[in-house]
Amino acid sequence: MPTLEWMGKSKVVAYHRQVPYRVLERIPEKSVLDSHGSDCGNMIIHGDNLEALKALLPEYEGKVDCIYIDPPYNTGTEKWVYNDNVNDPRIRKWIGEVVGPEGQDFARHDKWLCMMYPRLRILRDLLSDEGFIAVSINDVELSNLGLLLDEIFGSSNRLACAPWRSEKSGGKDKTALRTGHEYIYFYGKSPSCRITLEEKSVGDLNHKDKFGKYRKGRELRKWGATSNREDRPNAWFGVPAPDGSIAWPYKNDGTEGYWRWTTQKKEMQDILTDPEHAVWEKVPYDEGVSVQGQTERWVPYEKIRDQRKSFGWNTWLDGFGANSNATAELKALFGSKIFDTPKPVSLIKWIVSLAYPSDAIILDSFAGSATTGEAVVSLNADEGLSRRFILIEMMDYADSITAERMRRVIRGYDDQTPRKTKKEIVHIPGIDSGFSYYELGSVMFDADGGLNADVSEAEIRRYIWYSETKAPYADMTAEHPYLLGVLGETVYYLAYEPDGATTLGPGLLRQLPRRGTPTVIYADRCVIDDDKLNELNVVFKQIPRQIARV
């Protein structure tokens, strides 16, 4: 396979392993909770995206289902809020620290590749085997990015390089051949990548009503897992049935469920206005079940007005919004064009919709104006699903733009679009969701290689468990203060005291409630000889020397 060489590559190919591991510090006053007091598993992280990605590894390695990034295109301009250029001061500082003096002579393409390589390496580690990554780019770095992604993800895992029409008029270039388009690379993590197929119009519309032709679609009540009323309370409401009664999303066993669509969905608004926008059937409850004395109830089904089949996607991504749509969306939220390189929500919603499963984790490590976050919560509201987003933004506007956009989307806002004439203010209702806001905290290890005294014991435990097992962490200190966890037949202990050294000896062994095959014990020192440790099937690991560096 052809490989790409550039000045400084040798200094960055393994740099992702040297990135310091930092803990994440939640900032409650900058976070937003939903109507149930939950952040819905969503995260916004302010800080260098390389260090932030490293901080995610203990909990999210191999668990992210969809990654979308819109990195700097390296166009050479520096006038924007987000410097679309590798001459950003923070990137220059990073190049100087990692690559050294030779980086001063780099062409800007070399600098861009040095910046991208370690970030893509960690992104690959975070991606699940069934997941995919989508990367936006334009002509400047298109070829370089393709070879870079081939090297990191494997050329056999390239799914597509899809052109996207970003400028409806063809772009602003004053040449005969205008571009007016960008590209999106799609790569899987492995051959087992799963992407939900898009639907395209085809097939029979075999019914007709006063609105036109249609066919019967899915029942509007949510089925399957997490289909109880408490899972999505804002989707429990009454819908007028054809006979004037009110239909509620009761399940077959008579318990309370919820509709797949909320009142924010246009199709549901149509049904609430006129029941004929749905197909209605009288459906019995399970045998022996009645609700308010009734053994059957009205059940609505979707009316599909176009013909559809699964097909993948078009080569040319047209009709998914353009830059002008993205600008209009920001003006509605903030009243002005505060960000110069956003993507339209419709485009990112389409990408997110390809992710599998229904509770997919979506990561954007160049979050910018938080289009990806809005796309996730908006799509969840449309479809009644529970995807989660993780947004990372290194610039100082992570709070004032990235997080603030999500606050307004969640709480609702008045459309701020400037108007030439006075009109009634349009209020955009909020979407019931939430997120936690994080800053990068202390490094795990200090300059001398010891455990940083500023890092909590809980974070140290989580880190060591991850470095040992890569498995989800559960706090077991209620059983014993040193019990770290159990995986298979192996039992792990962390004998750690922030204010003093610990010793693995016979006295400590007698305290431990569980023994495994083997029993792994972290401590500052050990007074049991190797032969005895082998006889006891105990593995001693010294703090901090034998704590693995992620």
Per-residue pLDDT reduced to its tens digit, 40-75: 999 999 999 999 999 999 999 999 999 999 998 888
| Residue 309 in this model has a pLDDT that exceeds 60 | no
Asked if the bond preceding 357 is cis, omega within 30° of 0, the reply is yes
Question: Cα–Cα distance between 58 and 64 in angstroms, integer?
Answer: 12
Dump pLDDT digits (tens) for 495-524.
Answer: 999 888 999 999 999 999 999 999 999 999
State how far the alpha carbon of 410 is from the alpha carbons of 34, 42, 263, 451, in Å: 8, 12, 15, 39
Q: Which residue has the higher pLDDT, 162 or 107?
A: 162
Confidence class of residue 80 from pLDDT cuts 50, 70 and 90?
Answer: very low
Per the CB < 8 A criterion, the answer to whether 141 and 70 are in contact is no
Element counts in the chain: helices (H) and strands (E): 14, 25
Confidence class of residue 3 from pLDDT cuts 50, 70 and 90?
Answer: confident
Asked if the bond preceding 429 is cis, omega within 30° of 0, the reply is no
Pull the structure tokens for residue 293: 């004395």
Confidence class of residue 423 from pLDDT cuts 50, 70 and 90?
Answer: low
Collapsing DSSP states into helix, strand and coil, what is residue 303?
strand
Pull the structure tokens for residue 518: 């083997």
Helix (H), strand (E), coil (C) string for 470-531: CCCCCCCCCCCCCEEEEECCEEEEECCECCECCEECHHHHHHCCCCCCCEEEEECEECCCHH
The single-letter DSSP state of residue 259 is: B
Please spell the DSSP secondary structure of 220-254, one letter per residue: SB--STT-SGGGSGGG---EE-TTS-EE--B-TTS
> What angle do helix axes 323-334 and 404-411 make, rounded to 10 degrees?
70
Confidence class of residue 438 from pLDDT cuts 50, 70 and 90?
Answer: very high
Helix (H), strand (E), coil (C) string for 170-220: CCCCCCCCCCCEEEEEEEECCCCCCCCCEEECCCCCCEEECCEEEEEEEEC
Question: Cα–Cα distance between 457 and 424 in angstroms, integer?
Answer: 55
Pull the structure tokens for residue 6: 């550039």
pLDDT at site 426: 85
State how far the alpha carbon of 216 is from the alpha carbons of 222, 267, 278, in Å: 16, 14, 9
| Residue 82 in this model has a pLDDT that exceeds 50 | no
| Residue 473 in this model has a pLDDT that exceeds 70 | yes
Torsion angle, alpha carbons of 145, 147, 150, 155, to 10: 130
First to last CA, the chain: 29
Kindly state the average pLDDT of the residues 78-94: 59
Question: Cα–Cα distance between 306 and 217 in angstroms, integer?
Answer: 11
Pull the structure tokens for residue 246: 């009110």
State how far the alpha carbon of 254 is from the alpha carbons of 223, 384, 543, in Å: 13, 20, 57
Collapsing DSSP states into helix, strand and coil, what is residue 85?
coil
Question: Cα–Cα distance between 216 and 299 in angstroms, integer?
Answer: 13
pTM of the full predicted structure?
0.76
Burial (CB count within 10 angstroms: exposed 0-12, middle 13-18, buried 19+), residue 256: middle
Asked if the bond preceding 163 is cis, omega within 30° of 0, the reply is no
> What angle do helix axes 345-353 and 371-383 make, rounded to 10 degrees?
60
- Sign of the alpha-carbon dihedral angle for 355, 357, 359, 365: negative
Question: Cα–Cα distance between 111 and 105 in angstroms, integer?
Answer: 10
Confidence class of residue 528 from pLDDT cuts 50, 70 and 90?
Answer: very high
| Residue 326 in this model has a pLDDT that exceeds 70 | no
Per the CB < 8 A criterion, the answer to whether 376 and 391 are in contact is no
